[in-house]
């Protein structure tokens, strides 16, 4: 078995330059997020969730934020984008961009979920869930029995 030739100095330099360029671009993207605009978006969303958590558009925002927090993909983007007014749409775009560019600190998202009451509602949902059950949150507009039946069917079909 032949061993590959080690990279030449020129190849090493090209790889280093490519990496340096990618890091520089990532830093520029992160820096392009306006911290004041992001903070305003986060404050708006916190306020909306805290005072109107069960409306349709705020429910969409909550699912979006929990998707970021849990690193899951349970968000229907068509439903999200078509169900928000312009103010929340702009906030969602700002938060999404900050997340994509690495400019949304985890502790700031945690603070939003805490101050808006989301962590408290999650704790309440956990208390209401049987010990071996799945905590169905943030799915406030769905019937728990229907979701559990769907999850059982999905598991059985695997």
**Within a domain: residue 4?**
no
Average pLDDT of the residues in 151-156: 68
The answer to whether residue 140 scores a pLDDT higher than 90 is no
The answer as to whether 78 is a domain residue is yes
10 Å CB burial of residue 38 (0-12, 13-18, 19+) is buried
Q: Is residue 3 part of a domain?
A: no
Examine residue 30 and state whether it is found in any structural domain, yes or no.
no
Q: How many domains is the chain built from?
A: 1
And the tokens for 95? Answer: 């938060």
Q: State the pTM of this model.
A: 0.74
pLDDT grade for 143, boundaries at 50, 70 and 90: low
Closest CA to 49 of 58, 57, 40, 41: 58
- 133 inside domain: yes
27 belongs to a structural domain: no
Residue 92's pLDDT is: 93
pLDDT in tens, 56-68: 888 889 989 988 9
Per-position b or e across 125-149, b if 16+ CB within 10 A of its CB:
beeeeeeeeeebbbbeeeeeeeeee
* Full residue range of the structural domain in which residue 147 is found: 35-157
Domain annotation covers residue 29: no
63 within some domain: yes
d(CA 53, CA 60): 10
Highest mean pLDDT among 30-34, 56-60, 145-149: 30-34
For 75, phi then psi, to 5°, come to -105, 125
pLDDT of residue 83: 83
């Amino acid at each position: 078995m032949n061993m590959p030739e080690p990279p030449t100095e020129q190849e090493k330099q090209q790889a280093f330059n490519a990496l340096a360029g990618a890091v520089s671009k990532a830093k520029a993207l992160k820096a392009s997020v306006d911290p004041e605009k992001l903070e305003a978006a986060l404050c708006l969303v916190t306020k909306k969730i805290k005072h109107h958590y069960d409306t349709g558009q705020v429910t969409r925002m909550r699912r979006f934020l929990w998707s970021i927090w849990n690193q899951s993909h349970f968000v229907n983007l068509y439903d999200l984008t078509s169900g928000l007014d312009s103010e929340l749409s702009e906030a969602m775009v700002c938060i999404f961009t900050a997340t994509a560019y690495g400019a949304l600190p985890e502790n700031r998202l945690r603070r939003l979920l805490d101050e808006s009451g989301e962590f408290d509602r999650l704790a309440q949902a956990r208390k209401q869930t049987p010990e071996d059950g799945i905590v169905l949150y943030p799915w406030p507009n769905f019937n728990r029995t229907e979701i559990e039946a769907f999850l059982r069917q999905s598991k059985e079909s695997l």
